[in-house]
Amino acid sequence: MPTPPGRKPRKAAPARQPLSQDLIVDTAIRVLDAEGLEAATMRRVAQELGTGAASLYAHVSGKEELRELMLDRVAGEVRLPVPDPARWQEQLKELAMETHRVLTSHRDIAQVSIGLIPTGSNLLSVAEAQLALMRAGGVPPRIAALAVDTLGMFVDADAIEGTIYSARLNGGAEAMEKFIHYLGEIRDFFKALPADRYPNVVAMADELTETGGDARFEFGLDILIRGIASYVDAPEPS
């Protein structure tokens, strides 16, 4: 069939943007934010871009690399402090909370972070900022290096803990309600346990099933930073 007059011969149907690593990561994060990490598959991201999964492999080595690129893009949202040596403990806590906030604002992306040595430029900037704060505060290098790992692990773990249920459910405001309801069921379950085998679990059922909100995270953070600070001008651990 010849093209009828007045109709442009189609070149690229919907004038799609050409593929690029940035575009792929953008799209993957959109899917992540909307439906969680599990939904951000190669095939799904490709479909969102109007192509097939095979096309992504020209820009990304595979699923694992895409996930790491997503995490590093997200890490770019973390606002870094200007070190003030007098306030290093406070600033370290704030940075951990800011990182936690950014991670949890992107569903279960923290899943990618745990057990990953940071190599992306934004992830490295966060690590650099943590190290700078501790060095300014006089924390010995070996302790500071260990503390970066420990703090990162703690932030990741709590971020995962907080998103695992809401990520599994459909998300949205009703997810929170469902979680509260689930916690109530757990509390009743704990209270119904045999008191001779689990006396403390039964007795502390209420305390164990309090959402805590950010309090639990801050509690852990406080004792971690307290511990780090205890090595300032002190001998290293044997």
Partner DNA sequence: ACCTGAACACCGTTCAAGT
Task: Give the list of residues 6+ apart from residue 89 with CB closer than 8 angstroms, or none.
Answer: 137, 225, 229
Q: Does residue 177 belong to the site contacting DNA (CB under 7 A)? A: no
Q: Does residue 11 belong to the site contacting a copy of itself (CB under 8 A)? A: no
Q: Which of 52, 138, 141, 172 binds a copy of itself (CB under 8 A)?
A: 141
DSSP-derived secondary structure for 144-203: HHHHHHHHHHHHHHHHHHHHHHHHHS--SHHHHHHHHHHHHHHHHHHHTS-TTT-HHHHH
Q: Let me know: does 74 contact 29? Beta carbons within 8 Å.
A: yes
Binding span for DNA by CB under 7 A among 53-61, 77-85, 138-146, 215-223: 53-61
Please give the structure tokens belonging to residue 227: 């511990």
149 binds, among DNA, a copy of itself, none (CB under 5 to 8 A by kind): a copy of itself
Please give the structure tokens belonging to residue 46: 């490709």
Q: Does residue 84 belong to the site contacting a copy of itself (CB under 8 A)? A: no
Provide the CA 118 distance to its chain's centre, in angstroms.
13
Binding span for a copy of itself by CB under 8 A among 3-11, 26-34, 95-103, 124-132: 124-132
* Residue position matching structure tokens 């069939």: 1
Q: Which of 53, 97, 201, 202 binds DNA (CB under 7 A)?
A: 53
224 binds, among a copy of itself, DNA, none (CB under 5 to 8 A by kind): a copy of itself
Q: Does residue 63 belong to the site contacting DNA (CB under 7 A)? A: yes
232 binds, among a copy of itself, DNA, none (CB under 5 to 8 A by kind): none
CA distances in angstroms from 57 to 51, 52, 53, listed in the order given? 12, 10, 8
Q: How far is the CB of 50 from DNA (least distance, A)?
A: 7
Q: Which of 44, 87, 135, 178 binds DNA (CB under 7 A)?
A: 44
Residue 205 region by backbone torsions, left for phi larger than 0, else alpha for psi between -120 and 50, else beta: alpha
Task: Give the list of residues 6+ apart from residue 78 with CB closer than 8 angstroms, or none.
Answer: 95, 98, 99, 102, 122, 125, 126
Q: Does residue 177 belong to the site contacting a copy of itself (CB under 8 A)? A: no
Q: Please give the residue ranges that form the binding site for a copy of itself (CB under 8 A).
A: 114-117, 119, 124-125, 127-128, 131-132, 135, 141-146, 148-150, 153-154, 156-158, 160-161, 164-165, 186, 189, 193, 197-201, 203-204, 207-208, 210, 212, 215-216, 219-220, 222-224, 226-228, 230, 237
